[in-house]
Amino acid sequence: MPTQLPPAHPFDDDKLREECGVFGVVGVADAANFVALGLHALQHRGQEAGGIVTHDAKTGFNQARRMGLVRDNFTSADTMQILPGSIGIGHVRYSTAGVKGQTAIRDVQPFFGEFSMGGAAIAHNGNITNAMQLRRELIERGSIFQSSSDSECIIHLMARSMGRNIPDRMEEALRKVEGAFSIVAMTRTKLLGCRDPLGVRPLVLGKIGDGWALASETCAFDIIGADFVREIEPGEMVVITAERGVESHFPFRPNRARFCIFEHVYFSRPDSILGGRSVYETRENIGRELAKEAPVDADLVCPVPDSGTPAAIGYALQSGIPYAMGIIRNQYMGRTFIEPTEQIRNMGVRLKLNVNRALIKGKRVILVDDSVVRGTTSQKIKEMILDAGAKEVHFRIASPPTAWPCFYGVDTPQREKLLAATMSEDEMRDHLGVDSLKFITLDGLYRAVGEAGGRDSSAPAYCDACFSGEYPVAPSDMIEQGFQAKTAAE
């Protein structure tokens, strides 16, 4: 039996799961220590497993892949001693391909391969939408897969390439890949980074002393004392060495960028920078826009912690209604706290969240959350607020209704399990049993992230498929399995 872990949130399956986090560094002593710190800062992007690969002139390539959290696996001297070298990459994972919530050690990245010109390791954030098709073709040609991960296709495509060197082989492989990818890779001396032509997933470049770093988010640079230099451009590949610095290539046909708008709403840490904008400030702007679009008379604005906090602050500032911590999060609710038996499951979110009864009693409360997926958590929170004596409960949601699944690296439920796919806003309000329910409009969300004119339906600036159903890259594998994409009439 493969090693398995329970879902990252065993008492709450009502959130879109962060995809994965990637990090790499070159030109520093003890690279593995920097990679471990970077992955720790990116832990919110994946909590199931993590891995690190380094290279040292004496010992060659070294790797460690572990189930669980970075702090539990990559802090001991024994583990870090087996990862020497001045170049390294790492990955934290939440499974988006294969069996959800049941990561096997063989699926943990980075993946490593030996080629005729030397070894290479690769870590991937995103999702390959034609992975099933590629996998079939590769297996028919003799490839032997070791994992269920879509990312392994890239290694096999590189092995079959006739490119002169590893960067050339990676370029050729990625030209055959559809979907979303932000990649960090390494050879013995080179750190590589690449984003798909639409730039759906994030990747940033940093400078640390004489060395360089790549990461999914800028918050990973802060923890190691690196300076944020710039974002890797959509469709750009960088090849970095300690001696020559950063060389930039653009191997793909130019395309209009479609960065994932949900990074601004939820996935990225609020202390990161996206597109030159503070994520925290953007989320506060979302709250302000939501207050303009959906005002309501109430006594308190309360966030659903922690993801709803910046938007709740913005809503309170715009509306003039006092902000209050009406719900307190138990920060020490660990994933292995207790075996989730049926009796414990019935306690629901009470193991993670508790209502500040003295504050809530007799009040008309606005609850601000980042999204509604299945609606199960929203119902439980509403019940807790009413049990504490609230007079009214109003939900304000800092994203439009999530009505379509994501195929670009986010673990989204099947469409029929998404509340907004089967119900109108009023029907959702009645289903949740709240006094009012309002989502920010798609135009309002675009204004909050800096698009003053709102969403240009003819040329959207972001990937918003989970809200609009308009997929910038056709989800080939899912369509093959019978998924019905949105039609023009819809």
pLDDT of residue 337: 41
**Structure confidence at residue 343 as a pLDDT band (50, 70, 90):** low
Q: Is residue 260 annotated as a catalytic residue, yes or no?
A: no
Of the two residues 93 and 96, the one the predictor is more confident about is 93
Q: Are 113 and 226 part of one and the same domain?
A: yes
- Whether 348 has a pLDDT exceeding 90, the answer reads no
Three-state secondary-structure class, residue 58: coil
pLDDT of residue 336: 39
pTM of the model: 0.91
> What pLDDT, in 10s, does the model give residues 306-330?
889 999 999 999 999 999 999 998 8
CATH number at residue 241: 3.60.20.10
Q: Which tokens sit at 105?
A: 């050690």
The answer as to whether 267 is a domain residue is: no
| For residues 1-14, average pLDDT | 40
Angle value at C-alpha 474, between 282 and 166, nearest 5 degrees: 85
pLDDT of residue 298: 98
- Whether 251 has a pLDDT exceeding 60, the answer reads yes
Q: Are 318 and 241 part of one and the same domain?
A: no
| For residues 99-115, average pLDDT | 80
The answer as to whether 268 is a domain residue is: no
| For residues 98-123, average pLDDT | 82
> What pLDDT, in 10s, does the model give residues 434-489?
999 999 999 999 999 999 999 999 999 999 999 999 999 999 888 888 888 774 44
Say if residues 46 and 94 touch (Cβ distance below 8 Å).
yes
> What pLDDT, in 10s, does the model give residues 404-439?
999 998 878 789 999 999 999 999 999 999 999 999
Strand partners, 122: 111, 185
pLDDT of residue 12: 46
Q: Are 325 and 218 part of one and the same domain?
A: no
CA 384 to chain CA mean position, Å: 29
Mean pLDDT score across all residues of the chain: 90
The total domain count for the chain is 2
Q: Are 238 and 308 part of one and the same domain?
A: no
> What pLDDT, in 10s, does the model give residues 120-145?
999 999 999 999 999 999 999 999 99
Specify burial of residue 152 (Cβ count, 10 A radius: 0-12, 13-18, 19+). Answer: buried
Q: What percent of the chain has pLDDT over 70?
A: 90
Q: Are 383 and 242 part of one and the same domain?
A: no
- Whether 350 has a pLDDT exceeding 90, the answer reads no
Q: Are 238 and 286 part of one and the same domain?
A: no
Q: Are 391 and 242 part of one and the same domain?
A: no
pLDDT of residue 332: 65
pLDDT of residue 99: 45
Q: Are 122 and 237 part of one and the same domain?
A: yes
The answer as to whether 475 is a domain residue is: no
pLDDT of residue 165: 94
The answer as to whether 336 is a domain residue is: no
What sign does the dihedral 374-393-270-69 (CA atoms) show?
negative
- Whether 490 has a pLDDT exceeding 90, the answer reads no
- Whether 400 has a pLDDT exceeding 90, the answer reads yes
CATH number at residue 451: 3.40.50.2020
The answer as to whether 211 is a domain residue is: yes
| For residues 343-372, average pLDDT | 84
Q: Are 283 and 233 part of one and the same domain?
A: no
The answer as to whether 265 is a domain residue is: no
Q: Are 218 and 88 part of one and the same domain?
A: yes
- The boundaries of the domain holding residue 44 are 20-257
Q: Which tokens sit at 109?
A: 């990245």
pLDDT of residue 40: 98
Q: Are 203 and 309 part of one and the same domain?
A: no
Picking from 125, 92, 119, the residue whose alpha carbon sits closest to that of residue 194 is 125
- Strand boundaries in 383-488, DSSP class E: 392-397, 436-439, 462-463
- Whether 31 has a pLDDT exceeding 90, the answer reads yes
The answer as to whether 472 is a domain residue is: no
Q: Are 195 and 163 part of one and the same domain?
A: yes
| For residues 35-59, average pLDDT | 96
The answer as to whether 10 is a domain residue is: no
pLDDT of residue 5: 34
* 20, 153, 406, 463: the active-site residue: 20
Identify the domain boundary among 257, 289, 305: 257
| For residues 386-396, average pLDDT | 97
